[in-house]
Chains A and B, each alone.
Chain A
Amino acid sequence: MKRLLNTAGGRRRAPGEPRAIGYLYILPALLLYAAFLLYPFGQAVWLSFVHWDGLTVATSAGFDNYRDLFTDPALRAPFAHALLLLVFYSALPVAIGLLLAAALSRARVRGMTFFRTVLFLPQVLALVVVGVAWRSILAPDGLLNDVLRAVGLGSLARPWLGDYDWALPAVGVVGTWVGTGLCMVLFLAGAQRIPRELYEAARMDGAGPVREFFSVTLPGLRPQIAVALTLTIVAGLRNFDLIYITTSGGPGNTTSVPAYEVYHRAFETNQVGSAAAVGVALTVLIFVLTVTVSRLVEGRRS
């Protein structure tokens, strides 16, 4: 899930002189990469144009599988859920990270290494483990409900993962937990590289914390924001593990997401063509969103 997109710099000309031997160096990697990544993706595109149950003969489907993405509510819903989840996986972590970076940018912090290690920790845990831990927190007699009851909000307690209205946000909160540390670490590092003079100048102009944030911190963090959005969006759309462990798409279909739907259709309900179409659509969605982010937020290069 965490394979990341980067704004690969297309800077200048490649240095070094022409050398045909370069092909030899690239060849082994390219062969493996083409055989197990590019070629299967081509096949996924091809599969998305057939009806196939994975067992018997495939028949042509034309654009049926793609049309279904728009007309079949059972396929539209996962994409709607995925977009809503992006609020939790991407928007919230970035927003929280920014606020904290703003609050923290004024002070020098001792023990930053420790805090950074801790805050970033959720990123390195296997999502399967994260899922197991949060399933426990969100259980009917789990930590969250215990805390709510302890502070007199027992009426809010509910079986979070089994509640029709709350299961999706509950899964989303797990994503927020995973992503916030990443954004904070990214922004804190970025904020430290914003020249102090800019802050001093702003203060001399009589800027309060709010204006300072919008005129100095936010513009200074643009590249980091782009990276954070890209990383969290990609992670948020590839959240198969978490859904599989926590809800398997339930209750009803309220937490089904494209990543889960691909698996469910391809390997459980024998709709391989449709699964491939969902996978390809997911790729397109990731591609469009990440390109949009780098255009909008980063802005500087085309």
Chain B
Amino acid sequence: MTTRLERTVTYGILALFSVIALTPVIGILSTAFGSQNSLHTGFSLPEGGLHWSNFADAWNRGHFGTYLGNSVLVTAAVVAATTVLAVLAAYAFGVMRFPGSTVLFYLFVIGLTLPQEALVVPLYFDLRYAELTDTYWALILPQTAQSLAFGVFWMRTYFRGSARAVIEAARIDGANSWTTLWRVLVPMGRPAISTMVVITFMWTWNEFLMALVMVSGEAHRTVPLGLAFFQGQHSSDAALLAAASVLIALPVVVVYVALQRRFIEGMLGGAVKE
């Protein structure tokens, strides 16, 4: 039924859009290996060999070593806290019945629509008052709260879907709710949990506004913020800027390529699965 022409057109379209999606990425990659002396402010092709030294230069001049360390710490803390808290709360929402559970759950869902822009202003003044700005806490706590909205929503869907029979069986075996959760449901729910983990990881790693407002010194700066300031200082050094961009994007892209199914599933919020 599928004609040859149709197939060709199909692949043609897919290829075209793949090229469009990849052009900026490849442009940055190619510029990152280019010569720093290039006058071109746009993308450029590496001439005279690959200039690996750009990465070292960006690393040293932009202090990206420190920033990557900060990003890793903040991201790890947010992901860990979100996972534990979201699993606990979603478990209750998913398998227990108690007064007010619906209202409380919707309270969490609201968080999915609240834009950070509305929160960041009071948050800044609160945290400054608590003397927490310019600390890791100022990045970790608000971002965990924001990730919880998604985490609770996502994990509740999983707990809802997990077989009642399994829970019943565990109870008959004499397991209480705590052991049922950690011994039975969490191991079973690894796919759902890992989706939540990668999504939270990506959001936190890429977060910019919160870092811009909460952190003013160098010591706690995360990589997206580092790149923004690096651009301010080296706006005409296309090669260095591109190398820095690659350094920042790489961790997320690597995880994404390895676990793309989890990413897509999580970001589309179960719409595909439903």
A–B contact via C-beta, under 8 angstroms: yes
Binding site for B on A (CB under 8 A): 1-6, 8, 10, 13-26, 28-30, 32-33, 35-38, 40-41, 43-44, 47, 54, 100, 103-104, 106-109, 113, 115-130, 132-137, 139-143, 145-146, 177, 180-182, 184-186, 189-190, 223-224, 227, 231, 234, 237-238, 240-241, 244-245, 258-259, 262-263, 266-267, 272, 275-276, 278-280, 282-283, 286-287, 290
A227 touching B271 by the CB < 8 A rule? yes
Interface size on B, residues (CB 8 A): 109
Known: A119-B17, A128-B227, A143-B43. 7 other contacts (CB 8 A): A15-B164, A118-B22, A143-B27, A185-B268, A240-B209, A262-B120, A263-B213
Instruction: Give the complex CA separation of A243 and B126 in angstroms.
Output: 26
Instruction: Choose among A24, A129, A181 the residue that contacts B28 (Cβ–Cβ < 8 A).
Output: A129
B6 touching A107 by the CB < 8 A rule? yes
Chain B residues with Cβ below 8 Å from A143 are: 23, 27, 42-43
Chain B residues with Cβ below 8 Å from A36 are: 123, 141-142, 144-146
Which chain B residues numbered 147 to 175 have a C-beta less than 8 Å away from chain A?
147-150, 152-153, 160, 164, 167
Instruction: Give the complex CA separation of A107 and B3 in angstroms.
Output: 9
Q: Chain B binding site: helix, strand, loop or mixed by DSSP?
A: helix
A2 touching B203 by the CB < 8 A rule? yes
B209 touching A25 by the CB < 8 A rule? no
B97 touching A16 by the CB < 8 A rule? yes
Write the B1-22 contact mask toward A (1 if CB under 8 angstroms, else 0).
1100011011101100110111
B121 touching A119 by the CB < 8 A rule? no
A22 touching B98 by the CB < 8 A rule? yes
**Interface status of B76 (Cβ within 8 A of chain A):** no
Instruction: Choose among A21, A30, A181, A263 the residue that contacts B177 (Cβ–Cβ < 8 A).
Output: A21
Distance in angstroms from B263 CB to nearest chain A CB is 6
B93 touching A26 by the CB < 8 A rule? yes
Instruction: Give the complex CA separation of A42 and B272 in angstroms.
Output: 34
A14 touching B97 by the CB < 8 A rule? yes
A283 touching B118 by the CB < 8 A rule? yes
Instruction: Give the complex CA separation of A37 and B119 in angstroms.
Output: 7
Closest 7 interchain pairs by CB?
A: A279-B118, A142-B42, A43-B122, A36-B145, A25-B92, A126-B206, A29-B89
B109 touching A6 by the CB < 8 A rule? yes
Instruction: Choose among B97, B116, B144, B248 the residue that contacts A126 (Cβ–Cβ < 8 A).
Output: B248
A41 touching B118 by the CB < 8 A rule? yes
A120 touching B264 by the CB < 8 A rule? yes
Instruction: Choose among A106, A231, A282 the residue that contacts B118 (Cβ–Cβ < 8 A).
Output: A282
Instruction: Give the complex CA separation of A143 and B242 in angstroms.
Output: 14
Chain A residues with Cβ below 8 Å from B142 are: 36-37, 40
Write the B78-106 contact mask toward A (1 if CB under 8 angstroms, else 0).
00010001101101110111110110111
Chain A residues with Cβ below 8 Å from B117 are: 238, 240, 258-259, 262-263, 278-279, 282
A177 touching B20 by the CB < 8 A rule? yes
**Interface status of B219 (Cβ within 8 A of chain A):** no
Q: Who on chain A is nearest to B246 by CB?
A: A129
**Interface status of B59 (Cβ within 8 A of chain A):** no
Instruction: Give the complex CA separation of A100 and B15 in angstroms.
Output: 12
**Interface status of B52 (Cβ within 8 A of chain A):** no
**Interface status of B202 (Cβ within 8 A of chain A):** yes
Instruction: Give the complex CA separation of A244 and B144 in angstroms.
Output: 24
Instruction: Give the complex CA separation of A43 and B127 in angstroms.
Output: 13
Instruction: Give the complex CA separation of A3 and B107 in angstroms.
Output: 15
* With known contacts A8-B153, A29-B148, A177-B20, A107–B121 Cβ distance under 8 A: no
Distance in angstroms from A132 CB to nearest chain B CB is 5
Chain B residues with Cβ below 8 Å from A38 are: 107, 111
* With known contacts A25-B92, A128-B208, A121–B256 Cβ distance under 8 A: yes
* With known contacts A109-B14, A123-B267, A186–B42 Cβ distance under 8 A: no
